[in-house]
Amino acid sequence: MSQQSFDHFRELVLQDPALQTQLQAANNLSELTPLVLKLGRERGCEITAGDIEAAWQAARRAWIERWI
């Protein structure tokens, strides 16, 4: 369910340039996580720090595999 919330939040972000600008300010995962939690909560998305970490790890793995 929580992963679905993150996916839903991702869809919201990809349709909203203002939201993108806010999230792009984060320099690392430590800065990004509280932003995602706050902006997600404001939009009714129940995301946990663990969801963000899991999505981050999956995205990193996919990015590395892109070069293999």
Which residues of this chain interact with other proteins, rule CB under 8 A?
10, 12-17, 20, 23-24, 26-29, 31-32, 52, 55-56, 59-60, 63, 66
Contact 9, 48 (CB under 8 A): no
Token pair of 42 as six digits: 């404001």
- Please, which residue, 1 or 15, has the CB nearer to other proteins? 15
- Please, which residue, 14 or 49, has the CB nearer to other proteins? 14
- Please, which residue, 1 or 18, has the CB nearer to other proteins? 18
Q: Within 10 Å of residue 56's Cβ, how many Cβ atoms?
A: 13
